[in-house]
Chain A
Amino acid sequence: MLKKLVTILAAACLLAGNAFAADPILIGGIFAESGPTAEIGTATRLVAEMKLKEINDKGGVLGRPLKLIAYDTQSTPEVALRMTRQLVESDKVLALIGPTSTGEGMAVKKYTEEQKVPVIMTVGGDAIVAGGKYGPFEWTFKVPQRTNTAVEKIFDHLKGKGLTKVAVPSAKDPFGQDGLEAIKALAASKGITLVAEETIDSKGTDFSAEAFKLAMAKPQAVIVWTIGPAAAIAAKNFAALPGDKPVLVQSHGIAGPNFVKLAGEGAEGVIMPATKLMVADTLPAADPQKAVIDAFVKNYAAQGLQAKFPMNTHSGYAADALTLLEEGLKKAQKPDAAALRAALENLKGVVGVSGVFNPTPQDHNGLATDSLVMVQVKGGKFVEAK
């Protein structure tokens, strides 16, 4: 009897051990954990680890766990390239997620395209998947919405309100210039007129002069296209304008507690496109993202991330990168780079935190305007803008 029991126990241990005895599938992560973009990069890595644990707790992919090997890019393109080569040449990863900024992404992209390594980027700039003079993007995918998508969302909202004359202060950096180009390209087709534009420094501390100058052109709405503290400063400056003020609109990179904290009273009434994370509490049950977003919010708080990095519109990007990777591997049926790439660009209806992804060979982002909601700051909180 005892012998039988021991045999059964031994067999059970062997089976349990074999469940994850398979080699892990190695995924490389490049995040800025030091330098100017460290706050975004560190949060991204933590979210990636959280999502990875979730995937592995469900049994991994193709019967194998995923293992994330992450390196710090120090917010510089040269180090990002070096770390990427380390991951590909020394660590032999199958695919990569990250990095944090567009400059790092562009530095990495040339190498990963040449080496045929799938990369799912969490950067904001559209140049990554624009093609043309920015190089091919066969192996490069992007999670955050394209700038065009956000601009289209804004224009649809403004048009619906009968606001057709806009002025634009935009930053000189890649994000700002992407926004200005998209606004100019889409304005005519959406019946929007650009009455004035100004360039602002994303590291500037006061934009009162620019705000006054733009207000003189009598726009019905002002679309501020920058990220970081500059957006909050611009909001304060526009709020301080005398007389009738235009409706203030921010870009899709702003929605989060930091903006409200920095802009103070200037944030009140400001509208912006954001991922549905910002209105998670009020999402209808029928929304296809409701379950995924609720689970993400719960897990984010449970892992202690909400206390360290209060949730904002970007919080889900790393999770979505891994979701796409997971679905891509399942579709590819093997951990092979070429098969993964082909699978990634033919995924359909992948429900993520940032939207429902439908990438195609021509569109390596796959998010449409329905992935964004227009939100407004009311009483220091984000509510859906009516």
Chain B
Amino acid sequence: MRRELQFLGLFLACMAGLGAILPGVHLLALNQHLFLALNVLALNFCLGLGGQASMASGAFCGFGAYAAVILLERWPGGTLLIVPAVALAAFLLAAMISKPLEKLGEGFLAMATLCLGLIFVNLVLSFTGFTGGSNGMMVQAAPSLPLLGPLKGDRANFLALLGLIGLSGYVFSAVRHSRLGRALMACKDDALAASSCGIDRLSARAVSFGLGGAVSAMAGMMLANSTGFISPGQFDLGLSLKTLLFLVIGGPGRLVRPLAAVVVLESLIAWFHSLGEATILVHGLILAAALIAGYWRETGLPRLLLR
């Protein structure tokens, strides 16, 4: 755990250093990458710890964003209550949903979580009075902290994101090295054997799924504050797939590699934005190369080839 936290500390220190020197628009780009990194960390709770392939990252992210924006609009001074309340609500919602979904079995869980994403988008489109429907919502009030004031601007969002990644990373590492973490590892390796040993698989995975939901919700709150505008299209299946992709590239179960993968690859992809029609092709090639490199790293294929 100590080594893992040291690497996390090093990653955060590098990000802090970058954030200190980057000008406005580049800091915004880094914030957008860190938002995705936080989402990847959230999915790591589900997949990396619990072995649950979830396509509901977008839905929980959107839940956090919309809940925070709607509540802060009505109670602008209630940040200290609203933010933890939304995170707790997401945790409870995710944990409650996880138990019945878990009974579907491995293959169907991903499909069921995909449905969660569709349900979320349709709910947002249906309750137009609260959510603005397909046109989205402008963020009217930023979260504000006592003594520090409103969380406005790139640097404030950047520090908040670093703080959340640090906190979530610590919780991830702590859970992994706890009794719950060992139970989750057993469920991940062989769910039937774990149940036979007396591990309450449904409850254990509900906790990891819930933690993932809560972290995704917090990521959503940060996205809303950073962008100033939210719409259902930002939290659709595309976000969930992208999150899953980067976690797979970085390695499910690893703490820092997926975070670093997001920042490095997204920065690389953003660097090629001026290629016009070739942009999508280059994106695809970069991600394919990263996936292959990740696979080789896990299987040790380069070492075998060299022999």
Interface residues, chain A, CB within 8 Å of chain B?
33-35, 38, 42, 71-72, 74, 77-79, 81-83, 85-86, 89-90, 102-103, 106-107, 109-111, 125, 127, 133-135, 172-174, 176-178
Contacts and interface: CB of A to CB of B under 8 A. Distances in A.
B299 interface: no
A172 B121 CA distance: 10
A72 B279 contact: yes
Contact of A103 (B24, B29, B136, B270): B136
Contact of B32 (A38, A82, A102, A103): A82
Among A34, A38, A42, A125, which residue has the most Cβ atoms of chain B within 10 A? A34
Interface of B: 23-25, 28-29, 32, 122, 125, 128, 132-139, 227-229, 231, 233-234, 270, 273-274, 276-277, 279-280
A54 B87 CA distance: 55
Among B134, B273, B280, which residue has the most Cβ atoms of chain A within 10 A? B134
A83 B229 CA distance: 16
A81 B223 CA distance: 12
21 contacts: A33-B276, A42-B276, A42-B277, A71-B274, A72-B273, A72-B276, A81-B28, A82-B28, A82-B270, A83-B273, A85-B28, A90-B25, A107-B227, A127-B135, A133-B132, A134-B135, A172-B125, A173-B134, A174-B136, A177-B125, A177-B135
Contacts of A109: 229
Given A74-B279, A78-B227, A174 B25 contact: no
B227 A82 contact: no
Given A71-B273, A72-B276, A85-B28, A110 B135 contact: no
B274 A125 contact: no
Contacts of B23: 89-90
Nearest to A176: B134
Contact of A33 (B132, B233, B234, B277): B277
Given A72-B276, A77-B229, A85-B24, A172 B134 contact: yes
A127 B277 CA distance: 29
Per CB-CB distance, the 4 closest pairs between chain A and chain B, nearest first, are A110-B228, A85-B25, A34-B279, A174-B134
A72 B274 contact: yes
A111 B279 contact: no
Given A90-B25, A125-B135, A134-B138, A79 B228 contact: no
Contacts of B128: 177
Contacts of A78: 32, 227, 234
A35 B234 CA distance: 14
B276 A106 contact: no
Contacts of B137: 133
Contacts of A83: 273
Contact of B280 (A35, A86, A176): A35
Contacts of B277: 33-34, 38, 42
A235 B278 CA distance: 34
A173 B228 CA distance: 20
Given A78-B234, A107-B229, 7 more contacts: A72-B279, A85-B24, A85-B25, A127-B136, A172-B122, A174-B231, A177-B128
B41 to A, nearest CB: 19
B37 to A, nearest CB: 14
Nearest to A109: B229
A71 B25 CA distance: 14
A217 to B, nearest CB: 22
A173 to B, nearest CB: 5
Contacts of A173: 134
A93 to B, nearest CB: 13
Contacts of A74: 273, 279
A34 B229 contact: no
A177 B132 CA distance: 11
Nearest to B128: A177
A74 B279 CA distance: 9
Contact of B231 (A77, A79, A90): A77
Nearest to B154: A85
B135 A89 contact: no
A152 B25 CA distance: 42
B25 A82 contact: yes
Nearest to A177: B134
Nearest to B35: A78
A106 B279 contact: no
B75 to A, nearest CB: 17
Contacts of B270: 79, 82
Contacts of A176: 134
A177 B273 contact: no
B129 to A, nearest CB: 10
Given A135-B138, A172-B125, A177-B133, A89 B280 contact: no
B233 A103 contact: yes
A71 B271 CA distance: 12
A315 B297 CA distance: 49
Contacts of A71: 273-274
Contacts of B233: 77, 103
Contacts of B25: 82, 85-86, 89-90
A106 B230 CA distance: 9
Contacts of B135: 102, 106, 125, 127, 134, 174, 177-178
A38 B279 CA distance: 11
B24 A77 contact: no
Given A72-B274, A106-B138, A106-B229, A77 B234 contact: yes
A178 B24 CA distance: 34
A205 B227 CA distance: 33
Given A103-B136, A133-B132, A174-B135, A81 B227 contact: yes
A77 B135 CA distance: 12
A107 B223 CA distance: 12
B284 to A, nearest CB: 11
Contacts of B274: 71-72
A158 to B, nearest CB: 26
B24 A89 contact: yes
A86 B279 CA distance: 18
Nearest to B25: A85
Nearest to B228: A110
Contacts of A42: 276-277
Contacts of B234: 77-78, 103
B221 to A, nearest CB: 15
